[in-house]
A and B are shown apart, each in its own frame.
Chain A
Amino acid sequence: MPQIFTASADTRLRTALLVFVLVLCGSVLFVGGYMDSSYATLVGWVRDQPVPFSHEHHVGGLGIDCRYCHTTVEVSARAGFPATHICMTCHSELWTGAPMLAPIRESLASDRPIVWQRVSKLPDYVYFNHSIHIARGVPCVACHGRVDEMPLMARAQPFQMRFCLDCHRNPAPRLRPPDQVTRMDWSDWDNHPEEHKLYGELMVKAYGIQPSKLDNCNICHR
């Protein structure tokens, strides 16, 4: 009986199988990697805004407190976007003619809201409440990052369930004195963890925070 396949056919067959397996593993790894990549999480991606507002300048440079613009962060679920009037408190005096600020003036004139692009956005089935986090001393940087170093606002953390759970399951290390929550650069605190390593645990006790309950579904989903 004549050979059906050449001797090299086996080599080719085995290579093919190997390649197939590799591609399989590869694609799995790729999908996994993609979900964590900033393409999926949008971490570090800047979005075009009607006005190129620089947190770096206003927060880092001028040292304006977060709450000056995000007025309701302490009392409401939402931090709140600044009303045009808040911008104009200063910019009716400074840079009054700056073309960059035209949309602000236009908004004030036409009484139409400025349409900002959301950067830190959670799905609608997630109910995040700013006020309680502030009250417990979870600093803004924990989720929003060093906005004082962001010329244009970008997402600092992957807002995935895993990210929320990590903190909810072990809040202690992230807690600060509530009066320091809006403080961006607190390197002396952050650089010497041993000096305040007890603080978090004490606060967790003081507030009666029970991480075992904080990862329950109804904490965030309704």
Chain B
Amino acid sequence: MREPSSSSGLFGLLAEFDRPERLVDGVRHAREAGFRQVDAYSPFPIEGLAEELGFRDQRVPWLTLIGGMFGAALGYGMQVYTNESFQIDIGGRPLIANPAFMLITFELMVLFAVLFSIGGMLALNHLPRLNHPLFGVEAFHLTSKDKFFLVILSNDRKFDREKTRSFLEGLDPVRVNAVGYSEEPV
């Protein structure tokens, strides 16, 4: 989901709810009302919320799988290669001793699966992101406590400052704020 360019000055409109259910409803209505550039914020993951937002991204699982396969290949390949490159008789064991190689193969598979998975997650989430327009909003710090936020970005096709605000008001939020870009910490 692309964010509006800071030149527009306005990031979007932010509706604050005090209950997760209201947020979920809000998202649903926004989607039905045809808004697409919608995002929701909550202190904890809410089952199904992302789906409401039309989130279908399966890249993280795929990355994990790729990482795992890469690690396994790396681990096994490394052991075969090194043993071939300097062939040493070790206690009469076979040069390529697959049972012995499986352990490190497994370890590296796990290692890279996790690295890819978590690395991918952070990258796809564009984290770290220290400065974000929303952080400028007075009440937004409650998103990590007990409040739930719905934002409609200014770059949404149907975005119209007044209409959208009234639409959000209609969702019975605690309040609605405009989210602007601010360069310096206030």
Contacts and interface: CB of A to CB of B under 8 A. Distances in A.
Verify whether A and B have any Cβ pair under 8 Å.
yes
Interface of A: 1-10, 13, 212, 215
Q: Is the interface of B mostly helix, strand, loop or mixed?
A: loop
Given A6-B184, A215-B86, A1 B141 contact: yes
21 contacts: A1-B136, A1-B138, A1-B139, A2-B135, A2-B185, A3-B131, A3-B184, A3-B185, A3-B186, A5-B185, A6-B183, A6-B184, A6-B185, A7-B6, A7-B131, A8-B131, A9-B130, A10-B128, A10-B131, A13-B128, A212-B87
Given A9-B130, A13-B130, A215-B86, A4 B139 contact: no
B182 interface: yes
Contacts of B128: 10, 13
A5 B184 CA distance: 8
Contacts of B96: none
A3 B86 contact: no
A6 B129 CA distance: 11
In the complex, which of the residues B6, B130, B137 has the most CB atoms of chain A within 10 Å of its own CB atom? B130
Nearest to B130: A5
B106 interface: no
B140 interface: yes
Interface of B: 6, 86-87, 128-131, 135-141, 181-186
Given A2-B185, A3-B186, A4-B185, A10 B130 contact: yes
Contacts of A1: 135-141
A170 B182 CA distance: 69
Contacts of B139: 1
A9 B138 contact: no
Contacts of A212: 87
In the complex, which of the residues A3, A9, A212 has the most CB atoms of chain B within 10 Å of its own CB atom? A3
Contact of A2 (B129, B136, B183): B136
Contact of A7 (B86, B87, B183): B183
Contacts of A5: 130-131, 185
A5 to B, nearest CB: 4
Contacts of B87: 212
A102 B87 CA distance: 53
B174 to A, nearest CB: 15
Closest 10 CB pairs of A and B: A5-B130, A1-B141, A3-B185, A2-B186, A5-B131, A9-B130, A7-B131, A3-B135, A10-B130, A3-B136
B46 to A, nearest CB: 22
Given A1-B137, A1-B141, A2-B136, A9 B186 contact: no
A13 B131 CA distance: 11
A1 B138 CA distance: 4
B95 to A, nearest CB: 12
A10 B6 CA distance: 15
A6 B141 contact: no
Contacts of B6: 7
In the complex, which of the residues A5, A7, A13 has the most CB atoms of chain B within 10 Å of its own CB atom? A7
A208 B87 CA distance: 20
